[in-house]
Amino acid sequence: MGRRPSNKPTSFDIAYLAGVSQPTVSRALRGSKSVSLATRQKIEAIARQLGYTVDKNASSLRSQRSNTLALLFFEDPTPDESGINPFFLAMLGSITRHCAARGLDLLISFQRLEDDWHKRYQDSHRADGLILLGYGDYTLYESRLRQLVRSGAHFVRWGAVEPDTIGATVGSDNFGAGRLAGEHLLARGRRKIAFLGQADSHYPEFKNRCEGLVRAIETAGLTHDPDLVVPAISSEELGYQAAKKLLASGKPFDAIFAASDLIAIGAMRALGEAGLSIPGDVALVGFDDIPAASLTSPPLTTVMQDMRHAGVALVETVMAQVEDKPPPSPFLPTRLVVRGSTGG
């Protein structure tokens, strides 16, 4: 005699109707790629027809997992009081969508770098893994990352992907992006290109972008003047101050590559106050393609990072640790969005 679905449908009911085992149903409803796409779709359709929902508490007890990830934003200098870089806010939608597709809950919290956030999350077992966005000075952040590695915590961060990276990191090809920006400015006839950004070990992503710019300049047979590199971290005010310092130096320049859009927007204000036109006197390229980049006057040419795949890569990288699977590639491509600030 066939199995009749109970009043409250179970995974065994789905297994009977789908003609598969109950463990296969469980794996399919968790989104496991060990189950073929056709079988997963069949099981999901039957689950919807029966009105079946996963009992996350029971599932967590069996697997000793919370089926939850924690997303930690770290304080960044911003023109408003949010303290969150708008670039990371743009990434949030991609992360939440992919967590939902994975059947994962997402805890979101705001942290100050000096707080003991690493202890709070690894000791409480509130989440199976951590996604870390924003960190300010990397040299201050390193010790916390080493503690997470020693504790065996599952985590991934967004940042510069380098051979000596501590723990799992996902990030853009910053060196290639810097070279792309440099090649674009050179193709526009610019020869004295300044860089605004903290290009040292404290901010490795900015450092890699500057190195890419220098490579493009040197490949073109030109010499890069190190005095055209002015430190700045990612805020409009510090971009403004860096551009003012560049102007006060008296060094001739006809283009600026800013390490972030916020720095570029601040530089725009300083150039305008100095009576310089963009792009007539100075061509300007930013980095990140935040929403404000297209609203400046003129609109800002910038390097776009792949936000949609960034969220997917971050979630899949930390879940690969949880599920003991190979992680995806840590590098994401970039592309140049040409707008009016370089004569586009």
Reply yes or no on whether the pLDDT at 101 is more than 80.
yes
Per-residue confidence (pLDDT) for residue 82, from 0 to 100: 55
Q: Can you give the pLDDT at residue 313?
A: 94
- Is 132 a residue whose pLDDT tops 60? yes
Q: 86 versus 218: which is more confidently predicted?
A: 218
Query: In sequence order, what are the beta bridge partners of 72?
Result: 109, 132
What mean pLDDT is predicted for residues 86-96? 83
- Predicted local distance difference test score (pLDDT) of residue 122: 54
Rounded CA separation 228/253 (Å): 8
Domain ranges within the chain, ordered by starting residue: 11-54, 68-171+307-331, 174-305+336-342
**8-12, 172-176, 331-335: lowest mean pLDDT where?**
8-12
Domain 68-171+307-331 homologous superfamily, CATH: Response regulator (3.40.50.2300)
Owner of token pair 């380098």: 162
Average pLDDT over residues 198-202: 88
For the cut 80, the answer to whether the pLDDT of residue 102 exceeds it is yes
- Give the pair of three-digit tokens for residue 22: 């109950």
Pick 199 or 78 by higher pLDDT. 199
68-171+307-331 and 174-305+336-342: identical CATH topology: yes
For 148-164, give one letter per residue: b (16+ CB within 10 A) or e.
Answer: beeeebbbbbbbbbeee
Percent of the chain with pLDDT over 90: 47
Question: Does residue 60 have a pLDDT over 90?
Answer: no
Per-residue pLDDT band for 142 (boundaries 50, 70, 90) equals confident
- Give the per-residue pLDDT at 253: 97
DSSP H or E segment with residue 214: helix 204-219
Rounded alpha-carbon distances, angstroms, from residue 93 to 73, 309, 310, 337: 14, 11, 10, 21
Average pLDDT, rounded, for the chain: 85
What is 174-305+336-342's CATH superfamily?
Response regulator (3.40.50.2300)
Above 70 in pLDDT, residue 190?
A: yes
The angle subtended at Cα 18 by Cα 12 and Cα 22, nearest 5°, is 35
Inter-residue contact 222 to 191 (CB < 8 Å): yes
The long-range contacts involving 105-108, CB below 8 angstroms and separated by at least 24 positions, are 105/56, 105/66, 105/67, 105/68, 105/69, 106/68, 106/69, 106/70, 106/71, 107/68, 107/69, 107/70, 107/71, 108/70, 108/71, 108/73
Report the alpha-carbon distance of residue 2 to residue 119 in Å, rounded: 52
Please classify residue 344 by burial: count the beta carbons closer than 10 Å to its beta carbon, then call 0-12 exposed, 13-18 middle and 19+ buried: middle
Lowest mean pLDDT among 199-203, 211-215, 317-321: 199-203
Q: Which residue has the higher pLDDT, 277 or 44?
A: 277
| Prediction pTM value | 0.74
Residue 120: its pLDDT value, please?
61
Per-residue pLDDT reduced to its tens digit, 160-179: 888 877 888 999 999 999 99
Q: What pLDDT was estimated at residue 5?
A: 46
Q: Which residue has the tokens 């990397």?
A: 138
State the average pLDDT over residues 259-286.
97
